[in-house]
């Protein structure tokens, strides 16, 4: 299939957004490394993209189970060369009141959604800085800029991802390594529980298919964007919440009550 011109590593590659991103990025100039927990699901995604990509490698890993990602990055580089783009797409969500959320679930959300992206970025940075090129892409959420009832742990993790992306972008200014933060809105994937789906439909949330989100992510990467939030209304809400959070408290009060009626 020839030698591709860029090597992209995608975490959460067997999930709805992750697999859609892999399919959207697969072309004759791209080598893909797909990372996720489930080897069988990874193999299925690899079969779907290998006819389009320059080459595909899969690495099964539980990102919540380790703080040492150097061996994973070393394996990816050994298989397909230096990594040009790291896409931190793996995620864990929960729609529960905090008082009813198991400590282990809170830990899994924080470990997967923020610790893994930070430590994977750290692990890949040395080779990017040495080459003076590369891009780290963190997939956040509209809930990384607006807090919603029933999603306190998830919102905390995504607020952290947004802050991490902003700080790292400024830290790397002038280094040749860029950071992109993309904030999807509600996306129809298996990450969402049945309760989440019922809630989203009941309150008439704007929803996107994974393929639409993937197209937005690829556009942000190829366009060199620093930040991109999906949805016009959502972008306005993010800006208003940043400036006038108490105003948004009142505006969302009724919505939050209706959302909590569907919480687990």
Share above pLDDT 90 across residues of the chain, in percent, rounded to a whole number: 82
218 is in which domain, residue-wise? 6-260
Given 95, 154, 159, 181, the catalytic residue: 154
pLDDT at position 264, please?
Answer: 66
* The pLDDT value given to residue 194: 78
Q: Alpha carbon of 248 to those of 147, 202, 238, 255, 262: distances in Å?
A: 10, 20, 10, 11, 21
Residue 164 forms part of a structural domain: yes
Which pLDDT tens digit goes with each residue over 115-173?
999 999 999 999 999 999 999 999 999 999 999 999 999 999 999 999 999 999 999 99
In a domain, 42, yes or no: yes
Cβ pair 153, 94 in contact under 8 A = yes
Asked whether residue 120 is assigned to any structural domain, the reply reads: yes
Respond yes or no: is residue 181 known to be catalytic: no
> How do residues 206-252 score in pLDDT, each as one tens digit?
888 999 999 999 999 999 999 999 999 999 999 999 999 999 999 99
pLDDT tens digit sequence for 18-62: 999 999 999 999 999 999 999 999 999 999 999 999 999 999 999
Is residue 1 a part of any domain in this protein?
Answer: no
Q: Domain count for the chain, please give it.
A: 1
Does 70 reside within a domain? yes
* Domain contains 101: yes
What pTM does this model have? 0.93
**CATH code for position 85:** 3.40.50.720
Alpha carbon separation from 70 to 19, 75, 169 (Å, rounded): 23, 9, 21
């Amino acid at each position: 299939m020839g030698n591709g011109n860029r090597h992209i590593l995608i975490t959460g590659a067997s999930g709805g957004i992750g697999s859609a991103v892999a399919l959207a990025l697969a072309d004759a100039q791209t080598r893909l490394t797909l990372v996720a927990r489930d080897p069988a699901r990874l193999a299925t995604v690899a079969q779907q993209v290998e006819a389009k990509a320059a080459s595909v490698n899969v690495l099964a890993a539980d990102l919540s189970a380790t703080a040492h990602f150097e061996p994973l990055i070393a394996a990816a580089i050994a298989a397909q060369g230096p990594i040009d783009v790291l896409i931190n797409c793996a995620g864990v969500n929960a729609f529960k009141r905090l008082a009813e959320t198991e400590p282990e679930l809170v830990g899994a959300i924080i470990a997967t959604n923020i610790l893994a992206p930070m430590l994977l970025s750290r692990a890949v940075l040395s080779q990017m800085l040495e080459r003076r090129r590369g891009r780290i892409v963190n997939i956040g959420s509209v809930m990384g800029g607006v807090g919603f009832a029933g999603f306190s742990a998830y919102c905390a993790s995504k607020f952290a991802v947004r802050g991490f992306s902003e700080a790292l972008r400024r830290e790397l200014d002038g280094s040749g390594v860029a950071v992109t933060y993309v904030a999807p809105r509600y996306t129809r994937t298996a990450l969402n529980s049945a309760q989440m789906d019922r809630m989203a439909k009941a309150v008439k949330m704007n929803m996107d298919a994974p393929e639409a989100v993937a197209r937005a992510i690829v556009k942000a990467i190829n366009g060199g964007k620093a930040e991109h939030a999906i949805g016009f209304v959502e972008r306005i809400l993010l800006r208003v919440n940043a400036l006038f959070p108490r105003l948004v408290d009142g505006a969302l009060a009724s919505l939050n009550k209706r959302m909590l009626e569907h919480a687990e």
